[in-house]
Amino acid sequence: MFNNTLLFNKDIDIRLMEKVEGDSMIGDHILDGDYVMVEPQQDADNGDIVIALLNQEEVTVKRLYKKDNRITLQPSNPLYKPINTKDAIILGKVIGILRRFNGGKK
């Protein structure tokens, strides 16, 4: 029994996959080495998991919260601090993950 509705759904626009480095999102089950599937968009709702560009060079995966022209990029691992900024650029909303089952071993 295999349902290919999600994998081949023409209504989902996945043009970007980003490899996750680090453990800042383990509370949302996004692990080091996973690939996040991203629907490109320049904005997202509070609480959405997004990928964002920081300082024109660093890409990060975090939960987005907006308030008073500032955004907070919130990690789900309590060992990391939130990023509060005005300058992050939202690249897209995370809509899924791809993970190798063999622990990344080839």
User: How far from 3 is each of 6, 13, 51, CA to CA, in Å?
Assistant: 8, 18, 28
The yes-or-no answer on residue 62 being catalytic is: yes
Nearest to 38 by CA among 15, 57, 55: 15
The catalytic position among 24, 67, 76, 81 is: 24
The yes-or-no answer on residue 66 being catalytic is: no
The catalytic position among 62, 67, 81, 106 is: 62
The catalytic residues are 24, 62
